[in-house]
């Protein structure tokens, strides 16, 4: 009886005491928990970056694709091409460093043509003409050369010329200018891939509503990590905005607290991200590549530390990237239940 009472007391104390090392070793192994997807793990863990800024609660952090072994999850981060989609230094190319970046969208190519073929020659000719007229007036009509000042009040021919000629020049410039403006306001088609860029303080988040509504949180890499990956410092990020190349994109922008601006110069793309407002614009990237940009609206203390990196992949590789993030391609969610519900074909029975 005494032994039974002591055993009961010991069992009660053991229920409130932590398991000892020996008891833990002797305890049976717990059943293995089911594997979690990358999106579920990211939603629980959040995003802790080199800059010390955490992702907003509830956002999904993607797999650290840039740090993962090549081919993991069917996606390998694309290496940037020097001089493509990024600024060019004076040491690398003195001429290219003083003009626009090469363009990789239709609107960008049109705008670059307009600058090089129309604006630059017209501005150069007008500037030289005004300079020549100014020098002529200084030499011809100074006090020494012309002691008696002219009292001419008007000249009909000159007034007609300096009115008509500027009008013609403005019309020549207006036609491609209005064309470019109209092209930048084209409505994305219904099948365009939607990516929502949200500006936070001070990093970007990219949501993919067409592919499971997961969000990729993107922060700037520190200098050592950027150089290790062979990317330009203060432009490289841990997680890029990955999109398919050669297909229409519906880029939407908004912001959390203050106004930002989503800008990628080599794609000729810039759009404000305003809190409480959703802006939208069509973009088609002509070829695969890595394209760098930055927030272009003064948004606070770390405005200069929220770069943008757009990685355009072939559609098949983009689909692999989406699956690596735990997302799905449009139509897959409906196709899977339909295939499961379809009855198996009955085998033919010989008579």
Q: Taking residues 23-44, report their average pLDDT.
A: 36
Q: Are residues 173 and 249 in the same domain?
A: no
Residue 27 lies in a domain: no
Domain co-membership, 206 together with 278? yes
Is residue 320 domain-shared with residue 214, that is, in the same domain?
Answer: yes
64, two tokens: 């650290």
37-87 pLDDT per residue, tens:
333 333 333 333 333 333 333 333 333 333 443 344 557 788 999 889 999
Q: What pLDDT is recorded for position 57? A: 32
Is 312 inside a domain boundary?
yes
Q: Is the pTM of this model over 0.75?
A: no
- Report the SS3 class of residue 253: strand
- Is residue 97 scored above 90 in pLDDT? no
pLDDT tens digits for 102-149? 999 999 999 999 999 999 999 999 999 999 999 998 998 888 888 888
Q: Is the pLDDT of residue 163 over 90?
A: yes
Nearest to residue 307, comparing CAs of 285, 292, 291? 292
Tell me what percent of the residues of the chain surpass a pLDDT of 90: 58
* Same domain for 252 and 222: yes
* Cβ proximity of 243 and 312 under 8 Å: yes
Q: Band of the pLDDT at 3, cuts 50, 70, 90?
A: low
Q: Is residue 203 part of a domain?
A: yes
pLDDT of residue 95: 79
- The span from the CA of 64 to the CA of 50, in Å, is 13
């Amino acid at each position: 009886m005494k032994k039974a009472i002591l055993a009961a007391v010991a069992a009660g104390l053991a229920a409130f005491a932590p398991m000892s090392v020996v008891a833990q070793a002797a305890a049976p192994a717990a059943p293995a928990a089911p594997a979690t997807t990358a999106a579920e793990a990211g939603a629980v863990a959040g995003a802790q970056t080199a800059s010390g800024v955490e992702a907003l609660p509830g956002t999904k952090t993607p797999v650290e694709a840039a740090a993962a072994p090549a081919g993991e999850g069917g996606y390998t981060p694309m290496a940037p091409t020097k001089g493509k989609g990024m600024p060019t230094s004076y040491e690398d190319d003195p001429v290219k460093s003083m003009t626009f970046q090469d363009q990789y969208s239709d609107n960008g190519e049109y705008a670059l043509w307009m600058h090089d073929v129309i604006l630059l020659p017209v501005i150069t000719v007008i500037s030289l003409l005004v300079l020549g007229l100014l020098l002529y007036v200084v030499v011809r009509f100074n006090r020494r050369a012309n002691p008696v000042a002219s009292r001419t009040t008007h000249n009909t021919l000159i007034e007609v010329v300096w009115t008509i000629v500027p009008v013609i020049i403005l019309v020549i410039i207006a036609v491609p200018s209005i064309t470019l403006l109209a092209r930048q306001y084209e409505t994305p088609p219904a099948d365009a891939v939607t990516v929502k860029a949200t500006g936070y303080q001070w990093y970007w988040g990219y949501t993919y509503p067409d592919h499971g509504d997961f969000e990729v949180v993107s922060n700037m890499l520190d200098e050592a990590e950027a150089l290790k990956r062979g990317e330009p410092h203060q432009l490289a990020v841990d997680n890029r905005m990955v999109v398919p190349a050669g297909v229409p994109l519906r880029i939407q922008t908004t912001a959390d607290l203050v106004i930002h601006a989503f800008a990628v110069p080599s794609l000729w793309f810039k759009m404000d991200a305003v809190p409480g407002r959703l802006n939208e614009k069509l973009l088609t990237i002509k070829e695969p590549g890595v394209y760098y940009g930055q927030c272009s609206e003064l948004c606070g203390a770390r405005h200069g530390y929220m770069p943008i990196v757009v990685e355009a992949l072939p559609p098949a590789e983009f689909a692999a990237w989406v699956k690596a993030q735990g997302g799905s391609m449009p139509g897959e969610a409906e196709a899977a239940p339909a295939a499961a519900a379809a009855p198996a074909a009955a085998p033919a029975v010989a008579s």
